[in-house]
Amino acid sequence: MLPIAIDAMGGDHAPDEIIAGAHAAVDELGVEIVLVGRPELRDKIGDLELIEASEVIAMDADPAASVRTMKDSSLVRAAEAVRDGRASAMISAGNTGATMGSALLRMGRIKGVKRPAIATPIPVPGSTPTILLDAGANAECQPEWLLQFAQMGATFAAERFGISEPRVGLLSIGEEPGKGNSLVKQTYPLLDAADALKVGTFIGNVEGRDLMTDAVDVVVTDGFTGNVALKTLEGGMRTLVGALFEAFGSTEEAKAAAEVLMPQLLPLYSQVDPDSTGGAMLLGVDGICMISHGSSSSTAIVNAVRVTRELQDVDIVERLRSAVG
Amino acid sequence: MLPIAIDAMGGDHAPDEIIAGAHAAVDELGVEIVLVGRPELRDKIGDLELIEASEVIAMDADPAASVRTMKDSSLVRAAEAVRDGRASAMISAGNTGATMGSALLRMGRIKGVKRPAIATPIPVPGSTPTILLDAGANAECQPEWLLQFAQMGATFAAERFGISEPRVGLLSIGEEPGKGNSLVKQTYPLLDAADALKVGTFIGNVEGRDLMTDAVDVVVTDGFTGNVALKTLEGGMRTLVGALFEAFGSTEEAKAAAEVLMPQLLPLYSQVDPDSTGGAMLLGVDGICMISHGSSSSTAIVNAVRVTRELQDVDIVERLRSAVG
């Protein structure tokens, strides 16, 4: 198997956490990694392989313009490595839009795919995560794209989590058919058609409150709504977890009591921690492109590598190709 | 001051919790209440006044059709009581769409208001809530409506929470101007214009992660996105709080430790509990219409009455009238 290319320059904690994660992935998982980044990284990466790239697309740079003009950026070079058969997949914790743009530009789309979508796992304590897509690739969508998101999302959930018949819901503001905005109303009959999904079952409209529950496996929406929902949930979790830690540290008694609870709380925390999920996958490009959270630690990178390898083992791109074919 | 009309038939726990809440509001707050509901309630409500209504609009009924055909429903009668000067405001924990429809039909709009919007307070631990609007009244919106939502939302935040210069953000998927869907891109310049807001300051695009923080006071969006964000947050909180309680009860040691932490955790819980917020207000109709959560307990009703009375004291409808005038 070809090595997995990791963008060493992407993410809030790049390059140190990314490099540490790459080393840990090699040690723990026995996979081959090639880093992509500035030549001066050579001194820091030990015996890891490096594809040199002289430029870095900043986290807040304009994605389209950056990808077009920065041809020697780590992101574009990473996608190129996959295209040219130097790597089997790419992983980045960098600028999401530019990651997507690089993958789309260099790998191209799976034949028949109208638009790629970001599929993000939403943690569900005690159950498999819910796949939310599109989590931000396309701010404006057509009903036919959402049909393909459903097809790809169901296949992804089946392959990644071993769910034999994933339940696919359409995100709306009421469960009855006919509730929602015009995109939802136009998409509903496409998903409800008998032959819409080769894998999975359409269960109708679902609501935001279902995302973090076991009521649905795949939630389909446009990239604007999906990104708002994802970030709303992340922000809410961060606020609540922060307030909890503050409460736990507020008195000596509370500190001692919190200590006792840690064996119960840590597994829960690790279930809702974005670092644990292995990141999102860009579905619909002709190759594997994994998008890690911007705040990724070395642990997040190890998890992303592990998930990437699992997806390679099930030949995910071929599965997606036949899902939309 | 005229009594406040409460729909005794609306909500998952109607009529008992609603009646209990009405009694408690009279006792604790010294306000006058008139209940609206089925004649047979007379036996249950003691010395409270009752406006009789023979019909009940179910929680899952089609709002538009119900309001049109069920003229003797508790919701329509409650709105009528405000219009006819028998009540000073209405409160319902019932079908949200039908509450809105009844208020719109019987009270009418404030002159110049294009569409009313639901303004929902999102709890922020340690700070004033963030007002999210539209939280579900209009699934599809025009940029001009969002401008009015901003004007009304800023005035509402100022009057309700005493924020002298509320920070108003436009919900999007990136902070830079130009990020978002076409509605956001068209709305941005309207909000950014020098004379857009008489009260408050436009601070640009905000993201879902800002909702439950002190970074912004009023978040403006269309009713589809707003409702998805609200329900996503509610669902996420419920899941996390449920998982916490499970962890707390998992062993005898954990139970004892959780007991010690309760003085710290209860205030936090009450801050994020929807029953504490007093509910949402339908901004833009020519009268006060408060929308309580469907799961409202008697405590939620007392809080809704308290907030209603506070809003009456600041003459909120006149404030909103001048905000859009």
Quick one: fold of A1-113+284-316?
Isopropylmalate Dehydrogenase (3.40.718)
Q: What's the rounded Cα separation, in Å, for the pair B282 and B288?
A: 7
| CATH architecture assignment, domain B121-274 | 3-Layer(aba) Sandwich (3.40)
**Residue pLDDT, tens place only, A103-144:** 999 999 999 999 999 999 999 998 999 999 999 999 999 999
Give A183's pLDDT tier (boundaries 50, 70, 90). Answer: very high
Cβ–Cβ under 8 Å, residues A313 and A305 = no
For chain B positions 10-69, those within 8 Å of chain A (CB to CB) are 60
Tokens of A38: 């500035």
Contacts of B295 in chain A (CB under 8 A): none
Considering chain B, what percentage of its residues have pLDDT values greater than 90? 86
Find the radius of gyration of the CA atoms of chain A. 20
Q: In Å, how far from its chain's centre is CA A136? A: 10
**Collapsing DSSP states into helix, strand and coil, what is residue B282?**
strand
Question: Is A52's pLDDT higher than 90?
Answer: yes
Amino acid, res. B265? L
Mutation pick from B224, B227, B248, B253 vs chain A, by most beta carbons of A within 10 Å, is B224
Residues 6+ apart with CB under 8 A from B83: B106, B107, B108, B287
The nearest alpha carbon in chain B to A178 belongs to B62
Cβ–Cβ under 8 Å, residues A260 and B257 = yes
**Residue pLDDT, tens place only, B140-189:** 999 999 999 999 999 999 999 999 999 999 999 998 888 999 999 999 99
Contact A209 B232 (CB under 8 A): yes
Tokens of B133: 């609007």
Which one of A212, A223, A228 has the shortest CB-CB distance to B239? A212
- Which CATH code of 3.50.50.60, 3.40.50.300, 3.40.50.720, 3.40.718.10 fits the domain covering A117-276? 3.40.718.10
Contact B213 A234 (CB under 8 A): no
Contacts of B260 in chain A (CB under 8 A): 253-254, 256-257
Contacts of A211 in chain B (CB under 8 A): 232, 235-236
Segments making up each domain of chain B, as ranges:
1-113+284-320, 121-274
For chain B positions 269-288, those within 8 Å of chain A (CB to CB) are 272
Q: What is the pTM of this model?
A: 0.95
Contacts of A181 in chain B (CB under 8 A): 139-140, 222, 224
Contacts of A145 in chain B (CB under 8 A): none
Least confident of A121-125, A145-149, A242-246, B310-314: A242-246
Cβ–Cβ under 8 Å, residues A132 and A222 = no
User: What's the ipTM?
Assistant: 0.94
The nearest alpha carbon in chain B to A97 belongs to B174
Same topology between domain A1-113+284-316 and domain A117-276:
yes
CA B222 to chain A, closest CA, distance in angstroms equals: 10
User: Does A195 touch chain B if contact means CB atoms closer than 8 Å?
Assistant: no
Question: Is B314's pLDDT higher than 90?
Answer: yes
**Residue pLDDT, tens place only, B232-276:** 999 999 999 899 888 889 899 999 999 999 888 888 888 888 788
CATH of domain B1-113+284-320: 3.40.718.10
Within 10 angstroms of residue B126's Cβ, the number of other Cβ atoms is: 12
Cβ–Cβ under 8 Å, residues B36 and B74 = yes
Q: What's the rounded Cα separation, in Å, for the pair A263 and B294?
A: 36
The nearest alpha carbon in chain A to B124 belongs to A239
Strands B33-37 and A33-37: unpaired
Residues 6+ apart with CB under 8 A from A115: A134, A137, A138, A141, A145, A148, A284
Strands A289-291 and A280-283: antiparallel
Cβ–Cβ under 8 Å, residues A106 and A75 = no
Least confident of A225-229, A245-249, A305-309: A245-249
Mean pLDDT (whole number) for A80-92: 97
CA A274 to chain B, closest CA, distance in angstroms equals: 14
Cβ–Cβ under 8 Å, residues A132 and A120 = yes
Q: What's the rounded Cα separation, in Å, for the pair A320 and B159?
A: 53
Give B35's pLDDT tier (boundaries 50, 70, 90). Answer: very high
Q: What's the rounded Cα separation, in Å, for the pair A57 and A8?
A: 12
Find the radius of gyration of the CA atoms of chain B. 20
Amino acid, res. B131? I
Considering chain B, what percentage of its residues have pLDDT values greater than 70? 100
Give A90's pLDDT tier (boundaries 50, 70, 90). Answer: very high
DSSP secondary structure, B177-224, as one string: TT-S-HHHHHHHHHHHSTTS-SSSEEEEEE-GGGTTSTT-SEEE--HH
User: Does A252 touch chain B if contact means CB atoms closer than 8 Å?
Assistant: no
Residues 6+ apart with CB under 8 A from A211: A122, A130, A132, A219, A229, A233, B232, B235, B236
